[in-house]
Amino acid sequence: MSQHVEIVEVGPRDGLQAWPKPIATSARIGLVERLREAGARRIEVGAFVAPDRVPRMADTADVMAATGSRERAGDMVLVANRRGLDQALENGARAIAVFTAASDAFALKNIGRTVDASLERFAPLVSAARAAGVFVRGYISTITDCPYTGEVPPEAVAPVARALRDMGCGEIALGETLGRATPRRIAAVIEAVSDHVPLEDVAAHFHDTYGLGVANVLEAVRMGIRTVDAAAGGLGGCPFAPGATGNVATEDVLYMLEGEGYETGLSMEKLLDAVAYCESGLGIAPVSRVYKARRGA
């Protein structure tokens, strides 16, 4: 398989959605601009979701307008319902993401319905998006662990991936929401999913709560996945996953991939400038190992 690994930068959405303090629109715009300068070709710029539940994403339309996201095929926004899809289309989005889980308990907390019910809700959204020429990603959260019910077996993940694929999602993102998994458990999920979805259409979306995010990414790449989500500075956390910390850091993933001989198209130095901006522009201290080592922290 190709030695290129595509890093999808999710910091502007997944990295900021749970931040407890207000974030200026200009600061979100500044982050997206710096990530573009670092070479990020795919960026999750925001979400069209209920602003009372996720207030940090309320200015997504403004961020899209200011950063040239309209009609950019590599920029993606999350949507939760038909209203969110309509907003995304009105603002020129060329890629959207819908989201479910492998655990009913988490799905009920996150989107207010079971996994099966969420799939029923998203099927017409995916159909409408595709009819409009929009690319659709399907997220599956809690692929190894649920904060409310414990371990999730791989055989619970595979049918959800198949259902998202069958309804028209062009990419399935496997979300290890709590950051508890080890490479062995990640491998078991990928193996189960690979029976239903080609690995070239699967993305790895891992968190780093227990410091195993980079190791898990390497295992996913070793197994054939070539799309990896990461957030500059290790930003992130889910408001509906108690105890989960940030996404695996883009700069840590980049360092590992380059060391293993993979090409990403990202500039480490410019990426570190974007990470520094997380602190100077957004007021959020980066937590990544590479950033601390390079900046002498």
Catalytic residues: 238
Closest of 139, 154, 153, 246 to residue 202, by C-alpha: 139
The upper half-sphere exposure of residue 50, i.e. CA atoms within 13 Å in the direction of its Cβ, equals: 6
d(CA 93, CA 202): 21
DSSP 41: S
DSSP 237: -
161 touches 196 (CB < 8 A): yes
The CA-based angle 30-4-144, given to 5 degrees, is: 80
Neighbours of 220 (CB within 10 A): 27
Sign of the C-alpha dihedral, residues 21, 27, 33, 37?
negative
The CA-based angle 44-51-119, given to 5 degrees, is: 65
Q: Which amino acid is at 251?
A: E
Phi, psi of 135 (to 5 degrees): -75, 140
Pairing of the two strands 150-151 and 145-146: antiparallel
d(CA 20, CA 138): 26
Pull the structure tokens for residue 279: 């602190």
